[in-house]
Structure 1
Amino acid sequence: MQEQAQGAAAVRGWCPTAWRPMMAGDGLLVRVRPLLGRLSRAQAEGLCDAALRHGNGHIDVTNRAALQIRGVRADEHDALMERLVALGLARRNGDMAAPLIVNPDWTPGDATDSITSELIARAGELPDMPGKIGFAVDAGPAPVLTDAPADFRIERGMNGGLILRGDGRERGVPMNVSEAVSEIIALAQWFIASGGAIAGRMARHDTPPPVTPSEAPAPPRSRADCLAAVPGRYHAAPFGRIEAEALLAAMDDETRAIRLTPWRGLIVEGSSARSDDPADPRIGVDACPGAPACPQASVVTRDLAARLAPHVGGLHISGCAKGCARPKQAAVVLTGRDGRFDLARNARAGGQPERTDLSPTQILALFGAE
């Protein structure tokens, strides 16, 4: 484990996986990445049972469309992994190291399915990458994962075909489905060979790519359009948290599967029950688990976030300066420090504050949320 100090927070240079969990304040955090972001009903039920049996029943839905089983005791991890392998949610030879996000409305045999399946099969050809690197296969009718964290992106270009675009670049390189994975691997190899590991992320890597990008991505489509394309019910997970019992209860007799989204919610595939409101203000707030769930946090975050959500747009509340819930800038960011909060605007967590040493009561009064 590589760590470096950033204020009072220990910044880890890697993300947890199922086989390499991370210790949090409530126990081990075990991250599960279902293939193509989809769990069959049997897998979803099995995962919920495993979370209750081997963890504390809390499940996180991450902004990279993965699931995190929380509160796993060290002596329960082996048993949990046996269950995940049996469910087809983990592989004994390890999973693809880098996170992989797909547009949630993919269909069997389409471009997203084909490219993702091939990339997973050829993952061994990828070089060793920095711990935070990720991929997005966003090959639907128009990009929908623009705001989701990823370094290498397959998406629709302005001319309707596919492009491969490095995060932070305005243009990408046109390509077809059959060559997409080879081009992704080649770009990843160039990234490492040209010193990308030092930068850590594609958006921070300034070296010109081997092929000059020539085509801009198509205008993004809305999340609502993407969600509406999958027959089923949208189930909100405010702040990216759902309890195992709640997920089990969300599945009715018509449920076929669960699809994950990077937008703090799930699609209960096949269900005709009424969807949750995708405009719930709590869904638009970024807030990490905070104290006591995270040992790096010195403040409780989500109770405050729930009260501020209807009053503050573009809000990020971080338990420490790491800013795990939102690496990018937010209009309003509250960062925990020594049990109090610093307030900054248009900044990342830990950014230069305009006010310091604020209590939750003072913050609620400041934003008219008393």
Structure 2
Amino acid sequence: MSVKGWCPGAWRPMMSGDGLIMRIRPRLARLTRDQILGLCALSQSHGNGIIDLTSRANLQMRGIKDDDHQTVLTALQDLDLLDTTPEAEAKRNIVTTPLWQDGDLTTRLHAAILDTLPQMPTLPAKMGIVIDTGTQPILTDTSADFRFECSATGLILRADGALTGQAISEAEAPRALLDLANWFLDTNGAAAGRMAKHLKSTPLPDNWQDTAPNQAAQPPQPGGTTYGAPFGSIDAAALAALIQNSQATALRVTPWRLFTLENAQPCAPHGFITDANDPLLHTHACPGAPACASATVDTRALARKLAKPGLHISGCAKGCAHPRRAATTLVGNDGTFDLVENGHPWDAPRATGLTATDLLTPAS
């Protein structure tokens, strides 16, 4: 089992069991009709036809052959879905609320932060920024280290792991971000790797925690023109058909295995989830074997049969699909499953050596 200390990109893909994984980071998590149809075509012609939704509102093409990497990069550049350099791509780790409107605070902050990124110091690879500046934050469970949110009196920047943030004006936001990033590095935060972990051992100055954010709200649910993807896995052909049949003009990605279509007409869901209570939307499962070289078990076929809220089926102990506590976690181990209850994939199991047949057989 190999644990990577970074996330794949387009310039710097990651090799998996089914080929290269290339991550696309759409600006403001939005793709135009031409961009999403182009991405679907690329996935089918150069990948395995599967596009993943990530927990940071990005998209991943899977199964890209090594020899096709440059061809796909050129195509992404033509679609305006590629940063100019690998370094620019690595720094642009930003998640925005999907509820933004043209010209609002979120879009203005996003533009200002993009202009600021070249000045940002080099941070640990998985660190990121959230712009969660609707009336109420909805990205509180989304992985990030620097959180722009709203309070009862205005804008704040909150270090992840702190309950409160620093009140700032919109004009002060870029400088505040740079100051907090430099404080993190100056206090040896790089050794911890993430802001929340760093704050467990290093006190945050009082001036960075003087204002509470507004109370968090529930994120959007599937229904209408918002669709869910089981396990965050999208069949590119099905998505292209949905875009064409609905006449959608754009697509917005979310961190919750959901995507929203803009200006879409009612049509068949093409296998996507439209019911907020569908158990598949609340079941976690990584691609498993043979797609992932670290996995020794087929995860998703079993997950579809056992689907229920609080279930996580992981191909190995890394727990990539849900690196958090779950009510029931089944962890692949040398071709069988270990059972972890109310824990993480890497926690001690209550039972080991379970087969898929064992798990599908009702208890007598």
Q: Same fold (TM over 0.5)?
A: yes
Does residue 1:65 correspond to 2:57, yes or no? yes
1:202 to 195, 198, 204: 195
Report the residue type matching 1:303 in the other structure. A
Distance 1:286 1:135 in 2: 24
Shift of 1:238: 0.8
Q: Please name the residue that 1:5 is paired with.
A: none
> In structure 2, what is the equivalent of residue 224 of structure 1?
220
In structure 2, what residue type is equivalent to 1:113? T
* Residue 24 in structure 1 maps to residue 3 in structure 2: no
Report if aligned partners of 2:135, 2:214 keep a CA contact under 8 Å in 1: no
Contact 2:134 2:150 survives alignment (8 Å) = yes
The AA in structure 1 aligned to 2:357 is: T
Q: Where do residues 84-123 of structure 1 align in structure 2 (5 Å cutoff)?
A: 84-94=76-86, 95-98=88-91, 99-123=93-117
Which consecutive unaligned segments of at least 5 residues does structure 2 have?
Answer: none
Secondary structure of the equivalent of 1:23? strand
Normalised to the residue count of structure 2, the TM-score between the two structures is: 0.92
- TM-superposed CA distance for 1:272, in Å, is 2.9
Equivalent-residue separation in structure 2 for 1:160 and 1:54 (angstroms): 50
* Structure 2 residue 313 is matched with structure 1 residue 296: no
1:4 is aligned to none
* Separation in 2, partners of 1:163, 1:175: 5
* Amino acid of the structure 2 residue aligned with 1:336: G
Deviation at 1:97, TM superposition (A): 1.3
8 Å Cα contact 2:246-2:265 kept in structure 1: no
Per the alignment, do residues 38 and 76 of structure 1 end up closer, same or farther by CA in structure 2, a change over 3 Å counting?
same
Aligned partner of 1:191 in structure 2 is 184
In structure 1, what is the Cα distance between the partners aligned to 2:43 and 2:297?
26
Task: Quickly say closer, same or farther: Cα 1:354–1:244, change in 2 above 3 A.
Answer: same
C-alpha distance in structure 2 between counterparts of 1:253 and 1:13, whole Å: 40
1:73-115 alpha-carbon deviations (Å, 9 max, x no partner): 0110101000101110002323431421111110111111111
Compute the RMSD of aligned alpha carbons. Answer: 1.9
SS at match of 1:116: helix
TM-score norm. by structure 1 comes to 0.91
How far apart are the structure 2 equivalents of 1:325 and 1:290? 10
Letter in 2 for 1:151: D
Given candidates 157, 161, 166, the residue that maps to 1:164 is: 157
CA distance in 1: counterparts of 2:26 and 2:71, whole angstroms: 19
| Partner SS, residue 177 of structure 1 | coil
CA distance in 2 between counterparts of 1:266 and 1:111 reads: 22
- Cross-structure match for 2:354: 358
Deviation string, structure 1 residues 9-44 (Cα, Å, up to 9, x no partner):
111101000000000111000000000000000111
Q: 2:61 is paired with a residue of what secondary structure?
A: strand
The one-letter amino acid of 1:355's match is A
Task: Tell me what 2:121 maps to.
Answer: 127
Q: Residues of 1 paired with 2:210 and 2:329: CA distance?
A: 36
Q: Which amino acid aligns with 2:203?
A: P
CA contact (8 A) 2:314 2:332 kept: yes
- Aligned counterparts of 2:153 and 2:31: Cα–Cα separation in 1: 30
* Contact 1:57/1:243 (8 A) holds in 2: yes
Among 136, 160, 182, the alignment partner of 2:175 is 182
Which residue is 1:265 aligned to? 258
C-alpha separation in 1, matches of 2:314 and 2:155: 36
Residues of 1 paired with 2:30 and 2:276: CA distance?
20
Amino acid in the other structure paired with 2:322: R
Q: 1:317 deviation in Å?
A: 1.5
Cα distance in 1 between the residues matched to 2:7 and 2:41: 24
Indicate conservation of the 8 Å contact 2:251/2:260, yes or no. Answer: yes
Paired residue secondary structure (2:89): coil
Unaligned runs of 5+ in 1: 1-8
- Quote how far apart the aligned CAs of 1:183 are: 1.1
Report the counterpart of residue 346 of structure 1 in structure 2. 342
The offset of 1:160, in angstroms, is 4.6
Q: Measure, in 1, the Cα distance between the counterparts of 2:33 and 2:153.
A: 34
Letter matched to residue 209 of structure 1: L
Cα deviation, residue 364, structure 1: 3.0
Query: 1:353 is matched by which residue type in structure 2?
Result: P
- Contact 1:256–1:269, Cα closer than 8 Å, also in 2: yes
| Inter-partner Cα distance in structure 2 for 1:302 and 1:223 | 25
Identity of aligned pairs, percent? 44
